[in-house]
Amino acid sequence: MKQVILITGISSGFGKEISKLLAEKGHIVYGSIRSECKVEPGVKTVFIELTAPKTIADAVQKIIDTEGRIDVLINNAGMHSGGPFEDTPDEIIRQQMDTNYFGWINAMKAVIPHMRKQGGGKIINISSIGGLTGMPFQGVYSASKFAIEAVSAAMRAEIRPFNIKMVVVNPGDFKTRNVETRIVSIAENSPYKEQFEKTLRIFERDETNGEDPVLLAKTISKIVNKKNPKQRYIVGSLIQKMAVYIKRIIPESIFNRLIANHYGIKY
């Protein structure tokens, strides 16, 4: 069934592949951009700056005025930060939360009244495996994803009586532009400098050798078409899926040691 879909952030990575596949499947796809860029055939664009709530409200109203409904919201756009927590400036922490948390909150607040009025809909929040476990030297980014995990769980119960489904997707490492776009904070004489540079190389290696974003796009397409999707989808390599499962069954201290060891940190 053809659905009206709004996905945030379609200029590259996940958003680009998701918008392309959903348009190919015959859906009416609107993707948000912040500046002019090439988009996939069949994808319509709206301007959204996640840190400017009015742009979100205006974009949603534009789609409602044109299509009369929004069946699916896919929260995808965001920013990535990295560096020692102690070295990360307050303005970067605020920007991270304004983008990855408050921006998504405002998008959900904008679409839910319309979904409620039309009798239902789906919200798909693309979180991260980093939203299920804190990643060393990505603590600020993980915090933004943990926040989305919490609000998604709370909202799920609130909006379910209105036939609005809340789905969280947790990708592992994928070949996106994270390596290029990550905002890195490190003080000139930081005591963490040597360790951070070592761990950053591991981050970048894992991302460069990660899964193809098409894999995530196919998962999102299945969720869109399911009448009753699962509440959570873990998407990534077998070892990353196993890590999520292992975290649930072994002592936290042991799991934290495993994570530290993976990132070259003596624990």
* List 16, 20, 145, 165, catalytic entry: 145
pTM above 0.85, yes or no: yes
Of the candidates 19, 32, 81, 127, the residue annotated as catalytic is 127
The verdict on whether 237 is a catalytic residue reads: no
Q: Residue 70 has what pLDDT?
A: 98
Q: What is the pLDDT confidence band of residue 10, given thresholds at 50, 70 and 90?
A: very high
For residues 166 and 155, is the Cβ–Cβ distance under 8 A?
yes
Q: At what angle do helices 53-67 and 103-118 cross, to 10 degrees?
A: 30
Percent of the chain with pLDDT over 90: 90
pLDDT bucket at 181, cuts 50 / 70 / 90: confident
| Band of residue 198 on the pLDDT scale cut at 50, 70, 90 | very high
Query: Count of domains in the chain?
Result: 1
Is 118 domain-assigned? yes
Contact (CB, 8 A) for 50 and 56:
yes
85 is in which domain, residue-wise?
4-238
16 a catalytic residue: no
CATH number, domain with residue 189: 3.40.50.720
pLDDT at res. 170: 97
Examine residue 252 and state whether it is found in any structural domain, yes or no. Answer: no
Name the nearest CA neighbour of 7 among 151, 147, 123, 160: 123
Q: Which of 30, 101, 141, 263 is catalytic?
A: 141
pLDDT score of 177: 77
Would you say residue 203 lies in a domain? yes
Active site (annotated) includes residue 266: no
The three-class DSSP label of residue 6 is strand
Q: Is residue 19 part of a domain?
A: yes
In a domain, 256, yes or no: no
Instruction: Give the model's pLDDT for residue 94.
Output: 97
In this prediction, residue 180 carries a pLDDT of 82
11 is annotated as an active-site residue: yes
Residues present in the chain in total: 267
